Structure 1
Amino acid sequence: MTGIELLQTALYGTDDPRRLHSFVETLPWFWVLVLPAIGGLIVGILLTRFTPDARVRGPAEVIEASAMKEGRVERRAGLASIAASLITLSSGGSSGREGPVVHMTGMIAGWVSNRLNADGVTGRDLLGCAVAAGVAASFNAPLAGALFAMEVVLRHFSVHAFAPIAIAAASGSVISRTSFGDVTEFALRETNTLGFYAELPAFVLLGLVSGLVAVTLMRSVFLAEDAATAMQARLSLPPVLRPAVSGLLLGALALGFPHIIGVGYETTSAALSGDLVLHEAVVFAVLKVIAVSITMGGRMGGGIFSPALMVGALTGLAFGSIATGVFPEMSGSETLYALAGMGAVAAGVLGAPISTTLIVFELTGDWQTGLAVMVAVSISTSLSSRLVDRSFFLTQLERRGIHLAAGPQAYLLAMFKVSSVMKSPDHPKAPSEDRVRRAVNEALFVAPGDTLEKAMPLFERSNGDFLAVVRLGDGADGPEVLGVLLHVDALRVFNRALAATAAEEHS
């Protein structure tokens, strides 16, 4: 947080980074245009130099590490991603700071786990503690920090992990309050109250609208990612220039609409305070979705949570302006809709209704409107989770072939290589050489580097009790038989992994 503010102040010259877009309006046009492009160029240099795929790491990689890597997050690419996100957010990239925070804390936890030679359970617990402390410190939200770590990163609520994660979240919040004071992220001007219980159906409708907006935001980012990749290939654009081009597009958009610059706290606060009219809320929400898609599709760095808060607050304000105008006699404040919309869109993006509901309360200090927020959040999450793979992060992983959204039964098979389960051809339980050769001729074989995720469908198709394990070569003799994979051995390994996962989740 401090690093972003210091660098942002140095680049833009503002003495209050939380009012960045108002200050940007006073800057020369060429500086507004060029600065994000320069930041993007530096990001491109960092990522192409220190990552194998020129891609920023974020919460998705932390979730993957929790599920499949015993809580270990890669360090080299992680450090480059943190630096890239710092530069992106400081130079005007339209994203959020929670993604880098989650990845940075996860990377620290992985380093500690390696130093302690921790097992998988302990590694995941340390990962949850680190993420909880980071989120709590970043947003001054200890309750949400603890639940975010369990709901989003660990993806289960185990009793044995709750105490250390809660203590870590409290510690992170204490450090934050000692450094920045005991203040909420957004200050509301008025107390939001529900007009009457008859108003609750409006929040059900707001939840549906927010769920669709959340899906639109997520799919826009993925569409921008695919379009940018296709355009990069068509133009033979070096990976180092991709973030720079995205930064230039952001700068051009910011010339007319500086509200899209940076995290967007000023615009979010204006929405929660009711300082925007209907058409402004709609236009700013649409432009923010476009800006976030350009930033993340261009691989500039940063997270999606803060942009989701801004888009949600604008969506809720627009909805509230219409609702209170049509039914003024039974409506509360339109800012209540902004607050509920902020939580509903963010919850749909994160796939985390519990922690998002709490973080909205802790960010605003408004605990009196829980009924409206809970209704909107629950409806939004129920809808959006059916239109994507549970959440933005899990959909990211699904697009890379990592199937965490379906649960342990889907991803555990990918954790075991055939080489760790196979038996040698001369093992007493191995089938005869003739049977193995017939299996090879029928294409019922796998390579030692394959995983059980590839092997199990072959067992299903053949209805056999083994697969040949071969090394493919160019020789005239065909594939070289290295061993066999018995169906019973594959099932035994899979069942043990499922049992261990269930035991951890219910401990």
Structure 2
Amino acid sequence: MMTSNGQLHKIQRMWKLRKKIYYRMLDTDAALTLGTALLVGIGAGFGAVIFRRLIESIHQFSFSDVPSFLGLDFPLHLLLMPALGGLVVGPLVYYYAREAKGHGVPEVMEALELRGGIIRPRVVLIKALASSVCIGTGGSVGREGPIAQIGSAIGSVVGQVLKLPKERIRTLVACGAAGGVAATFNAPIAGAIFALEVLLRRFGSLYFGAVVISAVTADVIAHYFEGDQRAFLVPDYSLISGWELLFYTLLGLLSAAGGVIFYRLLYYSEDAWARLRFPEPLKPVLGGIILGMVGIYTFQLDGVPRIFGVGYSTIEEALSGNMMLEMALALLVLKLFSTTLTLGSGGSGGIFAPSLFMGAMLGCGYGHLVHSLFPGFTAPAGAYALVGMAAFFSGAAHAPITAVFILFEMTGQYEIIMPLMITSVISTLISRGFSRDSIYTLKLKRRGVVLQQDQHDIDLMQGIFAGEAMNRYPETVTMDMPLDHLMEEFARTHYQALPVVDAQKRLNGIVNIRSMDQLQVQEGLDEKTVSDIADILDLPSVHSNDPLWMVLRHLEEHGGGCVPVIKSDKDPKLLGVLRRIDIIRAYNKVITRKASQQHQEEMLTLRHLNQAGLMQVQISKKSPLVGMKVRELELGEDSLLVSIRRRNKLRVVRGDTVLQAEDQVMIFAEHPRESQLRERLNGNNIVPEGSSETIPVKHREVVIPSGKGASGMLVKDLNLPENCVLVRILRGEEVILPRGNTRLQGEDRVEIVGHEEQLLQAESCLAA
């Protein structure tokens, strides 16, 4: 019995030691990051397997089970199935998760740049269902974008559940995308490179390790369920002659042009469908009908609707050299139309597989041509199809490293790696010459989000636009205004430049005080008008949706005192004016917005605390806290110092606020206990007997009525109950952190926390 008890005691000691070591390992940033990356990789791996099985099941159901059950003639169901798929996808995306529309990767990039990687959990389900239905019923899109977004959403959800900082959530989002791509295409290295090159746009060692672990983990899971086989079975190709590199270079040029045409047509299609007056949830149905017609046409060509779905079998046929020149070029055009149609009308799917398809067709057709002209020192058409796949994707996505690695892993063709790299790099460089934006970043730019190359965080000045910062009621002059009157305007406004408009408020030019001074010295002002000195050529102007960095660039390049904001290039109606003072105000505004967003996140966290309460603590004269700054306190992660009441005046807490004797501090804690606070605050006399009480906290939002209640009052003059705290002011779309000299306005929405009974009294004080 003693031996048994001794063994039990030994096991308990070993278990405690194991737990101690385990938690100590979790304390390190690297271990936590890599551990969560492993978890995300598992989720992404299973997600990719389920997503792939779902596509196969829906395809089988749509093109085999349903036609045989309904007795449909063969061509008829090619028209019907894409439309039925659109009938499911349209409402699903429109009503439940609109970010699931389209090809997915730009939405992930937007979440990384603007929301710290926060993606709604429902995106996992909605994107998986919408994309699998779209692809399974014939949508001319791929799996890469959806699985990248699904994996990213899984990573984001893991980070949110574990309450990780946003920087770690960003890393997990990239890990999810890497795992999804790796498991889908049996390409772990390419999955990791995709996450680093396209999403994070940096190659730090910790990020690299995390995404590699996630990608390899997801790939292992996919191998277990799907087997270890490459996406394409390709004959062995190699570089026949050094002269052949010239032909590959020309293929890179053609692929760059093809990639640019592809994504410009894609967004032209989106704009055209957006202008179409038709119910938004039903647009994919209309697109599906048109796609079905194209499918019937391709079926009549050779008995296979080749533009439906991802088209891997058709790609493999081109890689084997069995695709004829005329068929390859025809499928290139038809696939371009079908993909832009599917995505433009509201379908859900990726652009990677269509890019590979079009690149293979372009390369195959080009390969047939050069091989027929120079058979002695050129490879077969299949080699050019393989290289064209990487080059076309590089031209569209500006991601040559990803293109090279993913094609290498999908085909296993190492011998042709040199043409693959050269052509991909050339295609990327030429494509960037056409446009600095890729197929991914252009979608963000159209939404007003401009990403800088090799930049970790989006510039703060890109978070606010010209239309938001401009002066909407600018001082203007007309062309026929005499110059002596103009001089009076300059003296009255103290501006260095003024916009010149006509009777319809259309911008005609800008007049600068320097031109006025020069004319006054040379010729005088008699009988002269604004038209004699106004600048009417090369006017620096912007649109209301342009970011402020563009305004700064205009001010630096032109040196003028103002930049007009016009409606459009075709309709130059003056909407407002931006000057340096407006930009400074906008910069201060965006800084405040960023701080208020952080404050809002803290408040949202506080609202979800269980059994939360406020505790009032009076600091005694002998307390070691006297003279300390708030930032130096160590209250613990479950407590927050909310306010300080000093001589019956409520003070807003800041990090550099110095505590004084007799201060009454309000502490918001999940489990407020007097003894624990004494220990954390490290002072036995901090909380006198009877001075601490626990108050169940409630939250309430009060609208300040115009001209009544607290409208026009300063925060410091509010007569709020003792245990109520004003935590935030919402003014329109602006979030304001309350300070003592903040003046409340009518229609302000203020948030207060405190005891329920006192909240009623506070509401009466604010709104009565």
* TM-score w.r.t. length of structure 2: 0.53
* Distance apart, 1:82 and its partner CA: 3.0
Within 5 Å, which residues of 2 pair with 1:121-270?
Answer: 121-188=167-234, 190-230=235-275, 232-233=276-277, 237-257=278-298, 258-270=305-317
Alpha-carbon spacing, 1:200–1:42, altered in 2? closer, same or farther (3 Å): same
The code of the aligned residue for 1:322 comes to L
Between the aligned partners of 1:452 and 1:204, the Cα distance in structure 2 is: 37
Encode CA deviations 1:56-90: one digit per residue, 9 max, x unaligned: 46110101112222111233456433321111001
Within 5 Å, which residues of 2 pair with 1:334-373?
Answer: 334-373=381-420
Encode CA deviations 1:345-373: one digit per residue, 9 max, x unaligned: 01222211001101001111111110111
SS at 1:103 equivalent: helix
Between the aligned partners of 1:492 and 1:297, the Cα distance in structure 2 is: 33
1:315 aligns with 2:362: yes
Aligned residue in 2 for 1:113: 159
Over the aligned positions, Cα root-mean-square deviation in angstroms equals: 3.4
Encode CA deviations 1:11-50: one digit per residue, 9 max, x unaligned: 1128xxxxxxxxxxx9611111111001101111112221
Alpha-carbon spacing, 1:455–1:12, altered in 2? closer, same or farther (3 Å): closer
Residues 463 and 590, structure 2, Cα contact 8 Å, conserved in 1: no
Between the aligned partners of 2:388 and 2:100, the Cα distance in structure 1 is: 34
* Distance apart, 1:410 and its partner CA: 6.1
Between the aligned partners of 1:309 and 1:57, the Cα distance in structure 2 is: 15
Between the aligned partners of 1:212 and 1:101, the Cα distance in structure 2 is: 27
More strand by share: 2
Q: Which has the higher contact order (CA 8 A, sep 6+)?
A: 1
Alpha-carbon spacing, 1:491–1:44, altered in 2? closer, same or farther (3 Å): closer
More helix by share: 1
Aligned residue in 2 for 1:400: 447
SS at 1:368 equivalent: coil
1:375 aligns with 2:416: no
Aligned residue in 2 for 1:428: none
Between the aligned partners of 1:346 and 1:378, the Cα distance in structure 2 is: 11
Aligned residues: 439
Aligned residue in 1 for 2:118: 72
The code of the aligned residue for 1:413 comes to M
Alpha-carbon spacing, 1:183–1:4, altered in 2? closer, same or farther (3 Å): same
Consecutive unaligned residues of structure 1, counting only runs of 5 or more, are 15-25, 418-437, 444-449, 465-483, 498-507
Encode CA deviations 1:222-259: one digit per residue, 9 max, x unaligned: 111112222x23xxx11121000000001011111111
The code of the aligned residue for 1:163 comes to G
The code of the aligned residue for 2:53 comes to T
* Distance apart, 1:456 and its partner CA: 9.2
* TM-score w.r.t. length of structure 1: 0.79
Identity of aligned residues (%): 33
Alpha-carbon spacing, 1:412–1:27, altered in 2? closer, same or farther (3 Å): farther
SS at 1:197 equivalent: coil
Between the aligned partners of 2:99 and 2:140, the Cα distance in structure 1 is: 22
Residues 143 and 169, structure 1, Cα contact 8 Å, conserved in 2: yes
* Distance apart, 1:413 and its partner CA: 2.5
More displaced, 407-416 or 347-356? 407-416
Aligned residue in 2 for 1:446: none
Between the aligned partners of 1:336 and 1:452, the Cα distance in structure 2 is: 44
Aligned mate of 1:45, from 74, 91, 94: 91
The code of the aligned residue for 2:57 comes to L
Between the aligned partners of 1:390 and 1:380, the Cα distance in structure 2 is: 14
Aligned mate of 2:61, from 7, 10, 16: 10
1:102 aligns with 2:148: yes
SS at 2:306 equivalent: helix
* Distance apart, 1:458 and its partner CA: 8.1
Alpha-carbon spacing, 1:485–1:338, altered in 2? closer, same or farther (3 Å): closer
Between the aligned partners of 2:82 and 2:414, the Cα distance in structure 1 is: 38
Between the aligned partners of 2:247 and 2:546, the Cα distance in structure 1 is: 49
Encode CA deviations 1:422-476: one digit per residue, 9 max, x unaligned: xxxxxxxxxxxxxxxx89xx99xxxxxx999559948986999xxxxxxxxxxxx
Alpha-carbon spacing, 1:187–1:325, altered in 2? closer, same or farther (3 Å): same
Residues 44 and 54, structure 1, Cα contact 8 Å, conserved in 2: no
Between the aligned partners of 1:363 and 1:179, the Cα distance in structure 2 is: 18
Consecutive unaligned residues of structure 2, counting only runs of 5 or more, are 1-51, 66-71, 299-304, 466-492, 499-543, 562-581, 596-768
Residues 413 and 451, structure 1, Cα contact 8 Å, conserved in 2: no
Between the aligned partners of 2:460 and 2:372, the Cα distance in structure 1 is: 52
